[in-house]
């Protein structure tokens, strides 16, 4: 399945909750969009300039 980067970032943004770690957020987005958590982590890191 192809998922646009902006959809991944939008889904990641709405998973914010105090004390929720990034790993949990990546997994939640991955499950919601039907992709793997590593892809979510890579897209988020890229958008934040961490790559």
Tell me the three state secondary structure of residue 30: helix
pTM of the model: 0.88
pLDDT of residue 2: 83
Structure tokens at 3: 């998922």
pLDDT by position in tens, the chain (length 51): 689 999 999 999 999 999 999 999 999 999 999 999 999 999 999 999 865
Q: Considering its fold, how many domains does the chain have in total?
A: 1
pLDDT of residue 31: 97
Q: Which domain holds residue 25?
A: 5-47
The residue assigned the tokens 């897209």 is 43
């Amino acid at each position: 399945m192809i998922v646009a980067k902006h959809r991944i970032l939008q889904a990641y943004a709405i998973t914010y909750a105090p004390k929720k770690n990034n790993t949990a957020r990546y997994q939640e987005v991955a499950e919601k969009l039907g992709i793997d958590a590593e892809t979510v982590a890579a897209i988020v890191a890229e958008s934040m300039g961490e790559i």
